[in-house]
Amino acid sequence: MIEVGGAATRGKTVKQEKVKWGVLGAASIATKKVIPGMQKGEWSEIAAIASRDLNKAREAAKKLGIPKAYGSYEEMLAD
């Protein structure tokens, strides 16, 4: 729970949902730095990963605990 500001909500506590992210690309920088850093964030959740190579996306998803893997960027964006 977080407290939000602004005249209409000042002093009210609201439930904040995590922001779900889909990562485009399974390159080393994404799998070793970006995604692990995002997974440490209190308000972020990695929901999917896409790569032009479906096997690479699946391997990264399995290694990093990401629920969905896609073999094209377009496929993930359409979901």
Domain 18-78 classified CATH 3.50.50.60? no
Per-residue pLDDT of 11-31, as tens digits, reads 676 677 899 999 999 999 999
Q: Which residue has the higher pLDDT, 7 or 15?
A: 15
Domains of the chain, by residue range, sit at 18-78
Q: Tell me what pLDDT residue 11 has.
A: 65
Threshold 0.85, pTM exceeds: no
Per-residue pLDDT of 30-57, as tens digits, reads 999 999 999 999 999 999 999 999 999 9
DSSP for 23-75 reads EE---HHIIIIIHHHHHT-TTEEEEEEE-SSHHHHHHHHHHHT-SEEESSHHH
